[in-house]
Amino acid sequence: MAESGWPVAFSALQPFLDWALATEAERTQKRQTSEMVDIQAFYTAMLSHLEDILVYLNQFPLERMPPHAQQLMDMTLSLAEIAPAVELFGQPREDDTFDPFRFVPQHQ
């Protein structure tokens, strides 16, 4: 493991730490204001490790994760956020859909 506790196996993901965002509103903001090439790069990097990440994270209690694990967790949530953009729409937001910033998450 690296000094931060970040597992060596996932060191390729460290350049994507700006996707470690704690709330849906932040993750939506990031998706909707990112270029598709950056979203795609994050998607590709995360997907190749996703199964291993989730198996790794499953050993920690959800409410008391060490900081590096919480970052990885939040990055998997960002992957969930951008997955439809990559897999279904080919763009951050479909043409002619509702303004995502008007659909406001409650009780965050």
Q: At what angle do helices 36-57 and 67-84 cross, to 10 degrees?
A: 130
In the complex with another protein, which residue's Cβ is closer, 17 or 54? Answer: 54
In the complex, minimum distance from the CB of residue 85 to another protein, in angstroms, rounded to a whole number: 8
In the complex, minimum distance from the CB of residue 78 to another protein, in angstroms, rounded to a whole number: 9
- Chain residues that interact with another protein, rule: CB under 8 A: 24, 47, 50-51, 54-55, 57-58, 60, 62, 73, 76-77, 79-81, 83-84, 87-89, 93-94, 96-100, 102-107
Q: Give the distance from CA 44 to its chain's centroid.
A: 12
Token match 């910033």: residue?
101
* Gyration radius of the chain over CA positions: 14
